[in-house]
Amino acid sequence: MNASPNIIEVSVQNFQTEVVEKSQQIPVFLEFYADGAEPSEQLAPILNKLATEFSEKMILARVDVQQNQQIVQQLAVRTLPTIKVIFQGQMAQDLEGPQEEATLREMIEQLTMSSVERIREQIKVYLAQGHRTEAIELLQQVISEEPHNHALQTELSDLLIMENRIDEAKLILASLPTDAEGISKPQNRVAFIELANELPPLAELLTAREANGDDLQLQYDTAVRLIADDQIEAALEGLLIMLKKDKSFDDELARKTMIKVFELLGKGDAMATAYRRKMFTFLH
């Protein structure tokens, strides 16, 4: 008996319903195996683990080659193990031989990405290359095709803010529901920029902080300026110093500010993960 409901045994009788039809909605990973075959025995635990982890994003359909020679011949299976990924009725991947877990995991994540996630990945590539204008143009194009996709509109407003097109961003934000996905990210960015505009120049704050590192308000002001200047890691370091000196200062201002910065960085960001751990260490 399989441990997860999305792990099934496939035969000629159920192939149409369990593989072809279900693949229209979710990727189906066909695992061709034989009981007692060492390559199959090595791969099976990895696939079971991934299928359980991605239970809502994929189906693992296991095909016993000894019992299903018709499927084996139709799909031209030549070796064990073999994985064939069917998505939307089409062959999306064809993998032969042993596979590393990391390789399979990356493939699953790519195949099961939502349209918003795919666009965000492309945006990350543009931004890493310094092509923010291209990222904005991509979002504007997609939004013209999906005008009710609030998640993409919050992404666009955030990039516009980074380009100092704040008035345009505010118009977009004002048109969105207050609970739109990701809306706190551009809202926080605007708040930091507007707060920074009321503060002395960054160079002046850095000089003052160097002379008086115990002034927690000065530490905070400098961190805000650094955030507005997109020097995020330096800002987080300053906020950690605040936590170390007095974590309760101004109603836990440092902790609350760090959380807002983590929202700016986005889910899964390596820097956010690292500094979240550091913050937890200081707090506990």
**How far apart, in whole angstroms, are the C-alpha atoms of residue 24 and residue 10?**
17
pLDDT in tens, 208-261: 999 998 999 999 999 999 999 999 999 999 999 999 999 999 999 999 999 999
pLDDT above 80 (res 118): no
Does 256 share its domain with 206?
A: yes
Query: pLDDT tens-digit profile of 123-167?
Result: 888 988 989 999 999 999 989 988 988 989 999 999 999 999 999
Is 196 part of a structural domain of the chain?
Answer: no
Residue 233 and residue 155 share a domain = no
Of 89, 111, 133, the position where a domain reaches its end is: 111
Q: For residue 102, tell me if it sits in a domain.
A: yes
In this structure, the answer to whether residues 214 and 269 fall within a common structural domain is yes
Check whether residue 143 and residue 166 sit in a common domain. yes
Domain range spanning residue 253? 202-283
Whether residue 244 sits in one domain with residue 161: no
Query: Are 62 and 126 members of one domain?
Result: no
13 and 102 fall within a common domain: yes
Q: Which residue type is seen at 99?
A: Q
Is pTM, for the whole model, over 0.95? no
In a domain, 192, yes or no: no
Residue at 254 is within a domain = yes
| Residue 25 lies inside a defined structural domain of this protein | yes
- Do 16 and 98 sit in the same domain of this protein? yes
Tokens at 258, concatenated: 């760090």
Where among 71, 91, 111 does a domain terminate? 111
Q: Could you tell me if 126 and 101 lie in one domain?
A: no
Does residue 203 have a pLDDT over 60? yes
Does residue 226 lie in a domain region? yes
- For residues 22 and 107, membership in a common domain is answered with yes
Tell me how far the alpha carbon of residue 16 is from its chain's centroid. 33
Residue 240 vs residues 18, 245, 257: alpha-carbon distances, Å:
52, 9, 10
pLDDT at residue 108, rounded to an integer: 87
The tens digit of pLDDT for each residue in 66-78 reads 999 999 999 999 9
Does residue 122 sit within a domain? yes
CB atoms inside a 10 Å sphere around CB 99? 18
Looking at the fold, whether 77 and 25 belong to one and the same domain comes out as: yes
Q: Cα-Cα-Cα-Cα dihedral of 58, 64, 65, 71, to 10°? A: -50
- Helix ranges (DSSP H) in the chain: 15, 38-53, 69-74, 101-111, 115-128, 132-145, 150-162, 166-175, 184-196, 202-211, 216-228, 232-246, 249-265, 270-283
Asked whether residue 120 falls in the same domain as residue 48, the answer is no
CATH number at residue 138: 1.25.40.10
Final residue of a structural domain among 84, 111, 138: 111
Q: Are strands 28-33 and 82-87 parallel, antiparallel or unpaired?
A: antiparallel
Give a yes or no: residue 189 inside a domain. no
Total number of domains constituting the chain? 3
User: Which CATH number is 79's domain given?
Assistant: 3.40.30.10
For residue 1, what pLDDT is reported? Answer: 44
